[in-house]
Amino acid sequence: MGQPIKVSVHSVPDVDVAVFETDRSLTGTETRSYVRSDGASGRKPGDMLAAQFFELPGIMSVSVSSNLVTLRRSPAPDWDHLHWDELLPRISEIIKNLFVYYDVDRAPAASSEQVFHGAPQSERDEAITSATQASALRDHLIAKRRRWGRPARTSRQQGL
């Protein structure tokens, strides 16, 4: 889950620099800069991006400022084996998935056996009964409001 980030690549005159714009701020108003020799550690979004970018060949520095991510690669002679165009999709994918901690489409649905694995039957029955009672109470309250001519409130209004 988590939302993918929309990423667009901007061209700049310097061939050793790539600029990516995101649909949201990654650092607030703060600017974070990282150099490959210093590495990157930490739990902030900029720290995590820089650490992943430094795993790619040739990335020398990373700067993250609000919704802009700027990367500088090593000078061109070191890039005979890998072209910038080959890295751009990989870099965009890293940024896009920064906040995605699992893919909903690929996550298997949990069965009741997996949810209650190892729980005694009495606990399973109690949990199912509680959920059924909560659902019945909600339905009762909605019907009662409708009888009085009031619209049914949404789950958010009900505090559920």
Query: pLDDT digit string (tens) for 64-84?
Result: 999 999 999 887 655 555 577
How many domains does the chain divide into?
A: 2
- Residue 156 — very low, low, confident or very high, per pLDDT cuts 50/70/90? low
Check whether 155 has a pLDDT greater than 70: no
Contact 32, 135 (CB under 8 A): no
Q: What is the pLDDT of residues 102-132, one digit of tens each?
A: 655 555 555 555 555 566 666 666 766 776 7
Contact 67, 21 (CB under 8 A): yes
pLDDT tens for each residue of 126-152: 766 776 777 777 777 777 777 777 665
The residue with greater pLDDT, 1 or 54, is 54
67 close to 6: Cβ distance less than 8 angstroms: no
Query: Which pLDDT value is given to residue 36?
Result: 83
Cβ atoms within 10 Å of 77's Cβ, excluding its own: 6
Q: Say yes or no: 63 and 140 in one domain.
A: no
85 in the same domain as 117:
no
Confidence at residue 63, expressed as pLDDT on a 0 to 100 scale: 93
Q: Are 44 and 26 in contact (CB under 8 A)?
A: no
Do 89 and 130 lie in one domain? The reply is no
| CB contact at 8 A, 39 and 51 | yes
* pLDDT for 61 beyond 60: yes
CATH of the domain at 76: 3.30.1370.70
User: What's the whole-number mean pLDDT along residues 44-48?
Assistant: 86
pLDDT at position 127 is 67
Q: What is the mean pLDDT of the chain?
A: 76
pLDDT at 112: 53
User: Domain limits at 127?
Assistant: 112-158
Task: Determine, yes or no, domain membership for 101.
Answer: no
Same domain, 47 and 126: no
Inside any domain, residue 103? no
